[in-house]
Structure 1
């Protein structure tokens, strides 16, 4: 009986090791990643040009960050968005010098706002080596 409980514990979806990008709100009250372009630099680091759409409403409610995660949800890099983009939607901001281990071929890019946190659409991005 105990062996079955151990097997169930480690095969349960609660302990899934992959980040789930299919569970999100499509409301623009949450920051939505709309497009990501990536390029690899000669030094082996990556640049991410990330477009975000959000219902920015001044300093009280705006998209304030995007981040790059591996498929287990570990953060590999991020970009802080320092101000609201009320009149620029969607907007694109870049971040370079993001180090990604060579064995990683796919990453997730997600964004958040200062009021609702994460919860909008994230994108799965394939890294072309």
Structure 2
């Protein structure tokens, strides 16, 4: 009986201290506004819980030099709106940049390991689309 109680106790402790779910980058759309300037729309999924734990930012990063090209701050939780899409206009992506990452962040867990790698030289990928 004591081992059963101990096992249940350990399961409860482990469950309550496990890391929060990461933000998932579901898809992205890139629309060329003018030469080298893009509007980027990103769809995220995250188990937002309220003001202390929600997806609060996504960004476009040059895969070559890791420079942040654009960042979209999310001002509030999306508890009842999942997945959700938000856009950012006037993102400078030079013509010589072949790959970018879409990265997402949440207040409790930080930057997600789920990065979306986008090949800017092709029209469509597994979770992205590029309109020139």
Q: Does TM, normalized by the shorter one, top 0.5?
A: yes
Q: 2:55 matched to which residue of 1?
A: 63
Contact 1:28 1:54 in 2 (8 A): no
Deviation at 1:120, TM superposition (A): 3.7
Q: 1:22 matched to which residue of 2?
A: none
Structural RMSD (CA): 1.7
Higher strand share: 2
Q: Which runs of 5+ in 1 are unaligned?
A: 1-26
SS class of match (2:29): strand
> Relative to 1, partners in 2 of residues 1:88 and 1:120: Cα closer, same or farther, differing over 3 Å?
farther
Q: 2:73 matched to which residue of 1?
A: 80
Deviation at 1:39, TM superposition (A): 1.1
Task: Give the greater-gyration-radius structure (CA).
Answer: 2
Compare 48-57 and 68-77 and name the one that shifted more: 68-77
Deviation at 1:28, TM superposition (A): 6.9
Q: Which runs of 5+ in 2 are unaligned?
A: 1-18, 122-131
Deviation at 1:44, TM superposition (A): 3.2
Q: 2:41 matched to which residue of 1?
A: 49
Number of aligned residue pairs: give it: 103
User: 1:97-126: per-residue Cα shift (whole Å, max 9, x none)?
Assistant: 001122102200010001110124110112
Normalising to structure 2: TM-score of the pair? 0.72
Normalising to structure 1: TM-score of the pair? 0.74
